[in-house]
Amino acid sequence: MEGKVLARIAAIAFVAIAITATVIEMTREEAPVPASTAPALQPSTDPLRATLRRCQQLGEASSSNADCLAAWAESRDRFLGRTPAHEAPQRPGDQ
């Protein structure tokens, strides 16, 4: 019999603590989020991005456009981390 009484007391204490925690959480006022004082940085305009957008709008005709082919080559080189061909250092013996 004593075990049942202890179990009931523990259950009542648990429920009381849960209710108290819930009431405290519900009555707490949320602090307003402070406004950001730093100005937002504007991304620099990338001429390659503009060229790639134009080539995208050209559609199939861009596959024969020299500017688009050069832009795709530069984009590929940037992605792969390679030095573009026109800036690649020449090896001795290459002429």
Q: What angle do CA 51, 54, 55 make, to 5 degrees?
A: 85
With beta carbons less than 8 A apart as the criterion, state whether 70 and 62 touch. Answer: no
- Could you give the CA distance from residue 5 to residue 13 in angstroms, rounded to a whole number? 12
Q: Which residues of 68-93 are buried (b: 16+ CB within 10 A; e: fewer)?
A: beebbebeeeeeeeeeeeeeeeeeee
* Entry pTM: 0.43
- Could you give the CA distance from residue 54 to residue 43 in angstroms, rounded to a whole number? 19
pLDDT in tens, the chain (95 residues): 688 999 999 999 999 999 999 999 999 888 777 777 767 677 677 889 999 999 999 999 999 999 999 999 999 998 998 876 665 555 555 55
